[in-house]
Structures are given as structure tokens and as C-alpha cells.
Chain A
Amino acid sequence: AQSVAQPEDQVNVAEGNPLTVKCTYSVSGNPYLFWYVQYPNRGLQFLLKYITGDNLVKGSYGFEAEFNKSQTSFHLKKPSALVSDSALYFCAVRLTGTYKYIFGTGTRLKVLA
């Protein structure tokens, strides 16, 4: 079955430290990869996406993600975390040749002051 895994339900990091939120996928073909963020009482907001090309993708609010084809991973990163980054983060893939998206279960990021 095609799936997206976010192995950590929650990630805690101190403000100013680098953060990583992990995502791996198991799908056929070469999917498009996305990261979305959800703040309390809000809908999901687009952060970044990987289509092709450079494995390091830069997105909104200083976030970036690294695509690794051999490990089928697309980890979200930020060099220096802010308290305001605390939110729920979703990884998603869009399957090649379809309009179907598969979302991960989400990782709650908590940045401690």
C-alpha cells in the first residue's frame, strides 16, 4: 500500500537550535512532495514542495526540506527554530499521473523558549 510516514508524533527543540521533522514515503513512481503547517484553529498552509531538480528545497518562513531519493525521505529542516514555529506539520505526496494526495499523520513541533 502506498503511504507516507511521519515517525515522530512530537518533536521538541529549544529556541535557536536547528530542527528536523522527518518524513518518509512508500509510493510508486516519482511523486511530488509537499510540506504543510497547521496552526491552532487554522487550515493547513503550504510551506514548500519538491518537483524535480535540486534536492534541497527552500520554502516559507526559513524552512527547507531535503529530498533523498535512495532513502525515499523528505525531511523538513530549519537552521534556527523560533517559538512561533510551534505547530502541527504534515508531509504529503501527490502520486504521479494522478490527482491523489496522501498525507502523513502529522508531527507536532514544540519550540521551547
Chain B
Amino acid sequence: DADVTQTPRNRITKTGKRIMLECSQTKGHDRMYWYRQDPGLGLRLIYYSFDVKDINKGEISDGYSVSRQAQAKFSLSLESAIPNQTALYFCATSDSQGINVADTQYFGPGTRLTVL
């Protein structure tokens, strides 16, 4: 979805390096998410944020941190990259309509990260 952009699209780095993946959205949504996709495992939630001051850990947050710089921007950092963080990373957004509303998620194109 062109309304959700991710940079870079591809990145190769070495073990121990600090990496930042960036996500921007023009959909005006409050909620933003970071997922990683691994073959055979589907998508797993790393972190999610409901607004600039509200950040929450997902199921696999160890080794990652995030920053919500503005409503439209949500960055994911790997403080010290390791090879098993090699994966496809997706940012997603959704509109805040309440906990009992099935909000649809809109995904960016993904960042392919390789840690050597």
C-alpha cells in the first residue's frame, strides 16, 4: 500500500551493528505495528503503538526497540543485530475504532534484512 512506506527496502549488515528501520504513513491512522515474517512462521508482532505516547511490546520484542517520533512515523531498531534477526520486516497501520471493532491493518512493502 503506497500510503505506508518503509525504508530501506533491503539491508545487509553484520553481527553487532545497530540498525534502524523506518516506517511512515499518510493514512492518518493512530495505530502502528512492526511485524517480522519468517518462512513457515507467518507474521509475528514485535511492537505496536496506539499513539505517540503509547508503545507496547508484542510477542517477540527481545532484541528490538521502537520509537514513535510522530503520529506518522514509527521506527524499529535492532540495538546489536544477530543472524537470527534475518527476516522480512513489515510495518502496518490501522485506524483506532475501539477494542471491539475489527480494524483492518494496512501494510508497508517490507524491509528485507540480512544479518551476516
Contacts and interface: CB of A to CB of B under 8 A. Distances in A.
A44 B50 CA distance: 20
B102 A49 contact: yes
A84 B29 CA distance: 30
Contact of A104 (B1, B42, B92, B99): B42
Interface residues of B, number: 25
Given A97-B99, A99-B99, A43 B107 contact: yes
Contacts of A105: 40-42
Given A41-B109, A43-B107, A43-B108, A90 B90 contact: no
Interface residues of A, number: 26
B39 to A, nearest CB: 9
Interface in B28-78: 31, 35, 40-45, 48, 50, 58
B90 A44 contact: yes
B84 interface: no
Given A42-B109, A45-B1, A99-B48, A34 B104 contact: yes
A51 interface: yes
Given A41-B109, A49-B104, A98-B99, A103 B4 contact: no
A103 B43 contact: yes
Contacts of A106: 42
Nearest to A9: B40
Nearest to B109: A43
B105 interface: yes
A4 B100 CA distance: 20
A77 B35 CA distance: 26
Interface of A: 4, 9, 32, 34, 36, 41-46, 49, 51, 90, 92, 94, 96-101, 103-106
Interface of B: 1, 4, 31, 35, 40-45, 48, 50, 58, 90, 92, 99-100, 102, 104-110
